[in-house]
Amino acid sequence: MMRRGLFLPLIVSLFVLLWQPPLHAAAPMPSELAKALKSLAQAGGFSAAFTQRIRFSDGSVQRYRGEVDVLTPGRFRWRYVQPFEQLFVSDGFSIWHYEPDLMQVTVLKEMRDVDPSVIRLLDGSIGIDDVHLLKADAGEHRYYVRIGDNTRVWVGVRRAQLAYIESVDTLGNSNRLILERMQLTAPDAGRFAFVAPDGVDVVPLR
């Protein structure tokens, strides 16, 4: 069921590109993309609103809205507010998935299972040397990049900041995360601590 299974399709699959074609030689890094990546690394974190659009190969579309905070190293807080509320919080070691209407928290202890390359790109812990340009559409300010050895995504840039990240899987489904009103200021570390509300069931997965 899509709703109960949001963790994998909307967090892991968002950041891990499943389509992995043969490696191509990397082109020189465009200045506006390099500047956007450097800004993230220097900020040490950011806050933004986001819109997520999943377009399936059959033409159907699902849209989500929410807020995201990211703090180096490996801490993030994803809050979905539409079409229903869900919260994902990581302190860099554990991840809590809270569904208020189900009164349930799911805990994943193995951070390595959901430590995708794009999260590390967003929190500035991946350096520019680890991002390789494969294709550029300078007129649209978007770039197809390889992160590390495998992950491939389209990255959009606007006003020297990352505007969106989009992946496409083997079935032709695209997943675009659009970042809005980005503030390149490290959020308070207290935002990445999670305490389950009274009466909420906590289910450890590992």
Confidence of residue 193 (pLDDT cuts 50, 70, 90): very high
Pick the CATH number of 7-204 from 3.30.70.890, 3.40.50.1980, 2.50.20.10, 1.25.40.10: 2.50.20.10
Which residue would you say has higher pLDDT here, 118 or 181? 181
User: What pLDDT was estimated at residue 95?
Assistant: 84
User: What pLDDT was estimated at residue 45?
Assistant: 86
Model pLDDT for residues 128-156, shown as the tens digit of each residue:
778 889 999 988 999 998 887 677 889 89
CA 89 to each of CA 77, 142, 198: distance values in angstroms, whole numbers, following the listed order: 4, 29, 18
Which residue would you say has higher pLDDT here, 9 or 26? 26
User: What pLDDT was estimated at residue 132?
Assistant: 87
Domain parsing of the chain, residue ranges: 7-204
Range of lowest pLDDT (16-25, 71-80, 118-127, 160-169): 16-25
Confidence of residue 19 (pLDDT cuts 50, 70, 90): very low
